[in-house]
Amino acid sequence: MSAIREPLPSLHRVPRASPAWIWVLLAAHLAVLLAWWWLGWRAGLPLLVAVHLAFLWGALRPRSAMYGPVLSHLPVTDRRVWLTIDDGPSDDTPALLDLLDAHRAKATFFLVGERAAARPDLVREIATRGHGIGNHSHAHPQAWFWALGPARMRREITQCQEVLRAITGRAPRWFRAVVGHANPFVSAPLRDCGLARVAWDARAFDAVRGDPVAVVARLERELAPGAIVLLHEGARHGRNVEMIGLLLERMQALGYATVLPEDL
């Protein structure tokens, strides 16, 4: 059996013990307080709103590193991309695995803990076929993940980690935030679990758009060496398998291959 190669240290960046956002937040509020004191509420209130909007933008923007490091692109110069598939396992998983095999492609499946616990055989099949497995929260609280408090955020991350470790015998090393959002409480559980956060730089909203041709056309425009491609499975429109199959065909025609960060 060949030795398992670890991801490049520069790619797998676990949050530090003391996130810089704390000091930025304190400094920003001190500046607002001084402005309010010296210039009055007409200056202080707009500054306070601006500070809070800036920190909200850091939470809602998937590639923002305000609350810890995030990987959104691979340092690759040839035509290789990282395919990432969120929200499984699902009824789509077996067909997706067959598609990937047919195209000699590899992907990382960012799995939801509750869904993995319900379908452990699919999780093991993903690992057996040589694909990566990442943590995508335990219950996938899509509407409120960005606003979770420290206790719920920790449960979402650690419970999923425990489920995936129990099924595969190996803890994931990559985390994909729900809808790509983060907040000040995401860093501590990621650090404790040894997880690095992953965003993307190629997406086409395939979880909500049901037109495979339009989805793949947009993804094709965003393909580039080292791109991290965001894909989904199990969407309500039922066409994710068709979309990914068409994408793999277009990638092959354009000379693109897949790569996992562990293989760099």
Tell me if 243 is assigned to some domain.
Answer: yes
Q: At residue 229, what are phi and psi to the nearest 5 degrees?
A: -100, 125
- Residue 146 pLDDT: 87
Tell me if 33 is assigned to some domain.
Answer: no
Q: Which domain holds residue 214?
A: 70-263
Of the candidates 73, 138, 140, 232, the residue annotated as catalytic is 232
- Residue 194 pLDDT: 96
The burial class, CB within 10 Å (0-12 / 13-18 / 19+), for 115 is buried
- Residue 229 pLDDT: 98
Structural domains in the chain (count): 1
Tell me if 142 is assigned to some domain.
Answer: yes
Choose among 193, 199, 188, 247: nearest CA to 65: 199
- Indicate which CATH number applies to the domain containing 112: 3.20.20.370
Tell me if 24 is assigned to some domain.
Answer: no
Catalytic site residue 78?
A: no
Tell me if 51 is assigned to some domain.
Answer: no
Tell me if 64 is assigned to some domain.
Answer: no
Tell me if 45 is assigned to some domain.
Answer: no
Q: Which of 9-18, 142-151, 192-201 has the lowest mean pLDDT?
A: 9-18
pLDDT digits (tens, 9 = 90+) for 208-221: 999 999 999 999 99
8-state DSSP, 7 = P
Catalytic site residue 86?
A: yes
Of the candidates 86, 87, 92, 201, the residue annotated as catalytic is 86
Tell me if 25 is assigned to some domain.
Answer: no
Residue whose structure tokens are 């990638």: 251
Calpha distance 249→243 (Å, rounded): 10
- Residue 158 pLDDT: 98
